């Protein structure tokens, strides 16, 4: 049997069994589309995880204060401050390969500007934090040593918080309140990862 005869027989079989042929083609199309979709979803998820890891920093170690146990109930990490600024300074001083040691205190609160408010993560940090986290300031200035020593009431905002509180207005120099304490906005950070601040 020649190739031409095989093609004619196959064509005749397709014409005679139209429904079966259509369902077979539909099954093949759906199967191929499903495989392509799954590969795309997998690649997208992999890219998202890689982006989140990159946003943390590839050479970053985060040390959290220990948790405490009370009556069999484990309280969350950071519920008791067991690490001090002196510990951070000792790490920077005693470990030669450490480029930056940046202590931070973290919590959540409402940030208020005028009649607008935004619930977000609040961090108390030193000037080394932004170098350690590779997080540049896009507008305004960063924290300097004088701010830390003088406990100056200043704030740097993340992109999301700045947008939600100020919209298209300029946030620099504006006064915001965190737990009723006024802070002057001196900078806006670049967008980083999925942080809502």
The answer to whether residue 3 scores a pLDDT higher than 90 is: no
CA angle 134/83/188 to nearest 5° reads: 30
pLDDT of residue 45: 92
Q: Are residues 97 and 136 in the same domain?
A: no
Q: Is 114 left (phi over 0), alpha (psi -120 to 50) or beta?
A: left
Return the structure tokens found at 42: 């997998």
Q: Are residues 107 and 180 in the same domain?
A: yes
For residue 104, list its beta bridge partners.
125
Q: Are residues 143 and 184 in the same domain?
A: yes
| SS3 call for 62 | coil
Confidence category of residue 78, pLDDT binned at 50, 70, 90: very low
Q: Are residues 14 and 97 in the same domain?
A: no
Q: Are residues 121 and 162 in the same domain?
A: yes
Which is more confident, 87 or 109?
109
Return the structure tokens found at 34: 């499903």
pLDDT of residue 151: 87
Q: Are residues 193 and 113 in the same domain?
A: yes
Q: Are residues 74 and 85 in the same domain?
A: yes
Q: Are residues 77 and 109 in the same domain?
A: no
Q: Are residues 120 and 48 in the same domain?
A: no
Number of domains composing the chain: 3
The domain in which residue 181 lies consists of 103-197
DSSP per position, 159-170: HHHHHHHHTTS-
CB 159 within 8 A of CB 188: yes
The answer to whether residue 84 scores a pLDDT higher than 80 is: no
Q: Are residues 39 and 92 in the same domain?
A: no
Among residues 39, 74, 101, the one where a domain terminates is 101
Among residues 56, 75, 92, the one where a domain terminates is 56
pLDDT of residue 83: 75
pLDDT of residue 196: 45
The pTM (predicted TM-score) of the whole model is 0.59
């Amino acid at each position: 049997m020649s190739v031409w005869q095989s093609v004619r027989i196959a064509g005749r079989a397709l014409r005679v069994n139209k429904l079966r042929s259509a369902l077979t083609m539909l099954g093949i199309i759906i199967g191929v589309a499903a495989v392509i979709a799954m590969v795309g979803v997998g690649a997208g998820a992999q890219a998202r995880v890689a982006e989140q890891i990159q946003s943390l920093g590839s050479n970053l170690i985060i040390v959290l204060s220990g948790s405490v146990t009370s009556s069999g109930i484990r309280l969350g990490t950071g519920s008791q401050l067991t690490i001090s600024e002196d510990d951070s300074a000792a790490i920077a001083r005693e470990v030669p390969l450490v480029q930056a040691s940046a202590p931070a205190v973290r919590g959540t609160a409402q940030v208020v500007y005028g009649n607008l408010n935004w619930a977000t993560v609040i961090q108390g940090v030193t000037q080394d934090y932004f170098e350690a986290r590779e997080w540049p300031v896009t507008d305004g200035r960063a924290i300097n040593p004088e701010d830390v020593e003088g406990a100056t009431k200043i704030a740097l905002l993340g992109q999301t918080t700045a947008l939600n509180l100020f919209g298209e207005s300029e946030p620099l120099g504006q006064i915001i309140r965190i737990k009723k304490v006024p802070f002057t906005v001196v900078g806006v950070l670049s967008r980083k990862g999925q942080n809502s601040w």
